[in-house]
Amino acid sequence: MAGIGERLRSRILSPSWLAILTPLAAVAAALAVGALMLTLLGVSPAAAYAAMFDGALGSVNSLADTLVKATPLLLVAVGICIAFRGGMLNIGGEGQLILGALAATTVILALPDLPSWALIPLGLVLGFAAGALWGAVPGVLKARLQVNEILTTIMMNAIAVQMLNYLLRGPLMDPAQVQAGSFIPQTARFTSAADLPRLVPTRLHAGFLLAIVVAVLAWILLWRTTIGFRIRAVGLNPFASRRAGIRVSRYGVLAMILSGALCGLAGAVQVMGVNHRMFTDGSSAGFTGSAGFNGIVAALFGQLHPLGAIPASIFFGGLIVGANAMQRAVQIPSAMITALNGLLVIFVVSSDIWRRRLVQRQQKAEAAKALAGAEPAPT
Amino acid sequence: MIQDLLTPAVLLGVAYSGIRLATPYLYATLGETIGQLSGVLNLGVEGMMLMGAYAGFYLTFRTGNPWIGLLAAVIVGALLGLANAVITVTLKAEQGISGIGMFLFGLGMSELLFRMSLGSVETVRGFAALRIPWLGNLPVIGDLFFNHSLLVYAAYLLVPVVWFILNRTTWGVRIKAAGQNPAAADALGVSIARVRYVTVTLGGVLASIAGASLSIALLNVFQQNLTSGMGFIAVALVYFGGWSPWGALAGSLLFSTVNALQNWIQVLGIPIAPDFALMLPYVLTILMLAIPFRKARQPAALTKPFERGEG
């Protein structure tokens, strides 16, 4: 992906009002398309959107649900930010998330007698490590053998799903399921010692705070440390970075490892904070709810900035919760939101061209101004 | 237990299913190959397949005529492909991301339409198996190769057709030039945008037919996420096959045969985890991508939008 650095540079150089306006315009456009779809389906868009808004933000409980849905999105989105900044297109969030959840699940099921203070960090750390490992493979293949990381991350997603299916239909299957002969592919419920603490008497768990802390740490890493500077330099211009003595392949791999690790952490947080067991329907979305893909959407929305990912993830968490409420209220399948998410991605990446043009025009104008100042005034 | 698998009847069954199930991979992979050779990566194949599968199924269900279903799939595919061309060629969007957008759109939209229009899983009478006269009556071979649905034959016929277009026509040269050295092709008067619009739209049509081949020829059902990842596999098969139609054929057959094998393992109740067999092709693909001497084949301008004067 030689082109990505160049595109990102224009994204970074562009004026900040445009950085905020573009996603908002894309949201407006997608909601307008959604309204049109609703009208065609014979449902009042106002009623549907009101149900959605109410479902996402209408009460303390729904607000908590929004933040719960936002949690894995935020962790994945921050991971995606780091990878993209390092010039790596990580499409493997789904697989890394599954691996992280599997690692946490395995240790929690294996050591049910550990106290909370040991089990929770252990689960999170193993999730982080498993995701890192899953992200490292495409990173190393890209750095050493120039294998396209988009492809390998997609392949790794598929491999992760098969591992999940194998483990939940075999070694990790709930013994009660085996005894009862029902063979539903899921694990036993975890010991409650592994449950992430609840923050308020809602479903909101400490994983949300962890995700916020991770986002801030990622921002500090990328913009306040030498390592982060090098990751961004490699993503912006690998050739110049090499000239400047930066080990390009090393920082690309590092970006992929960190990215995978955060996606893995998202998986661990999801099983320990929400599901308290692992399950599969055979596909990847059955467990992840496509968080590995939706996290990319949130990262794009947050302008590939870890702090921008916070509001973006909350927004998309709200969309998901709101869509379920809308499904109940006006009988519109929540799949509509998946479709609108797709449109949003397309709108955002497609509208980038105007931003690039604007930046070019500004640069030209500045150059012309500088030139005009240098020339003697015509007499 | 394992010897249950090695009876002639079972092996024939595996081979028959493998040949049948290669169909969607073939359409999607050939379409993606053409697009990539011209320099455009379409990661949204999965979404396009789902839309094609739905469109084909719904119209077949309503009219009872699979030809109308196929036509609908072609139209939907052309529209999605054209949209993808606008996004990637005219608006020069980052292809790795816009493809994810197209995937999510197709995934959500096909499920939305399915739930609103059908609601429950129905079956249709799609393209029936067509026994080819004379050849179809040969022992063993007749059943294996010459007793398939029309869409299956067409998928296999498409392989030499695509090969011919790519290697023996001016259009093939233009497509490959657009993907290898667009600046030079542009200087020689080839419109890169036009070439890519054609290939990307065609890719959409083929992806859509790939989906329809599932819903109105092979399975004759539609449900949400019917394709469950086949579109992404097709993208990988392009790399696996080294951007050649014959490579696409080999990859499609390998994948479908492994799938067929694991179906039979389950049917026969053999206690081998089929998941590892399903994992194998992906691992193989990664290994193939990593082998150094097979690498330098990727079209040089893949994923790079063309701008005049950028060299």
State pLDDT tens for residues B19-40.
999 999 999 999 999 999 999 9
Q: Beta partners for B130?
A: B148
Q: Bin A142: left if φ > 0, else alpha if -120 < ψ < 50, else beta.
A: alpha
Q: Is residue A370 part of a domain?
A: no
How far does the CA of residue A19 sit from the closest CA of chain B (Å)?
A: 16
Q: Is residue A269 part of a domain?
A: yes
A chain contacts of residue B47, beta-carbon cutoff 8 Å: 342
B chain contacts of residue A147, beta-carbon cutoff 8 Å: 286, 289-290, 295
| Residue of B279, B287, B297, B304 to mutate for A, most A C-beta atoms under 10 A | B279
Using CA coordinates, name the residue in chain A closest to B288. Answer: A147
Q: Is residue A301 part of a domain?
A: yes
State pLDDT tens for residues B186-213.
999 999 999 999 999 999 999 999 999 9
pLDDT class for A1, splitting at 50, 70, 90?
A: very low
User: What's the CA gap between B203 and B298, in Å, rounded?
Assistant: 18
User: What's the CA gap between B159 and B166, in Å, rounded?
Assistant: 11
Structure-token pair, residue B274: 């089929």
Chains A and B form CB pairs within 8 A to the count of 170
Which domain does A36 fall in, by range? 2-356
ipTM for the predicted complex:
0.89
pLDDT given at position A3: 46
Highest mean pLDDT among A322-326, B117-121, B197-201: B197-201
A57 shares contact with chain B (CB less than 8 Å) = no
pLDDT given at position B10: 83
Q: Is residue A75 part of a domain?
A: yes
* Sign of the C-alpha dihedral computed for residues A344, A347, A351 and A353 taken in this order: positive
Of A118-122, B55-59, B112-116, the least confident: B112-116
Report CA Rg, chain A: 22
**What is the DSSP annotation of A301-353?**
HTTT-TTTHHHHHHHHHHHHHHHHHHHHHH---THHHHHHHHHHHHHHHHHHH
pLDDT > 70: what percent of chain B?
94
User: What's the CA gap between A330 and A341, in Å, rounded?
Assistant: 20
Q: Is residue A253 part of a domain?
A: yes
B182 shares contact with chain A (CB less than 8 Å) = no
Give how far the C-alpha of residue A105 lies from the chain's centroid of Cα atoms, to the nearest Å.
Answer: 21
Q: Is residue A29 part of a domain?
A: yes
User: What's the CA gap between B247 and A310, in Å, rounded?
Assistant: 44
| Residue of B104, B227, B255, B306 to mutate for A, most A C-beta atoms under 10 A | B104
State pLDDT tens for residues A184-223.
889 999 999 999 998 878 889 999 999 999 999 999 999 9
CATH of the domain at A303: 1.10.3470
Asked if residue A269 lies in contact with residue B70, where contact means CB atoms within 8 angstroms, the answer is no
pLDDT given at position A54: 92
Mean pLDDT along residues B175-180: 94
Structure-token pair, residue A39: 């009208």
Mean pLDDT along residues B49-77: 97
Show which of residues 94-133 on chain B sit within 8 Å of chain A, judged by CB atoms. Answer: 94, 96-98, 100-109, 111-112, 115-116
Q: Bin B252: left if φ > 0, else alpha if -120 < ψ < 50, else beta.
A: alpha
Amino acid at A265: L
B305 shares contact with chain A (CB less than 8 Å) = yes
Q: What is the mean pLDDT of chain B?
A: 89
Q: Where are the alpha helices (DSSP H) in B38-140?
A: 45-63, 66-85, 95-117
Q: What domains can be seen in chain B, in order of their start residue? A: 2-294 (1.10.3470)
Q: Is residue A366 part of a domain?
A: no
A177: nearest Cα among A284, A277, A288: A277
State pLDDT tens for residues A259-315.
999 999 999 999 999 999 999 887 788 888 889 999 998 998 888 899 999 999 999
Could you tell me which residue, A17 or B117, shows the higher pLDDT?
B117
Q: Is residue A367 part of a domain?
A: no
* Closest by Cβ to A342, choosing from B108, B239, B303: B108
CA-to-CA separations, A120 to A79, A109, A123, A207, B68, in angstroms, rounded: 21, 12, 5, 11, 57
How far does the CA of residue A357 sit from the closest CA of chain B (Å)?
A: 11
User: What's the CA gap between A313 and B86, in Å, rounded?
Assistant: 28
Residue A90: how many CB atoms within 10 A of its CB? 31
pLDDT given at position A85: 93
Structural domain total, chain A: 1
Structure-token pair, residue A269: 């947080």
Asked if residue A214 lies in contact with residue A258, where contact means CB atoms within 8 angstroms, the answer is no
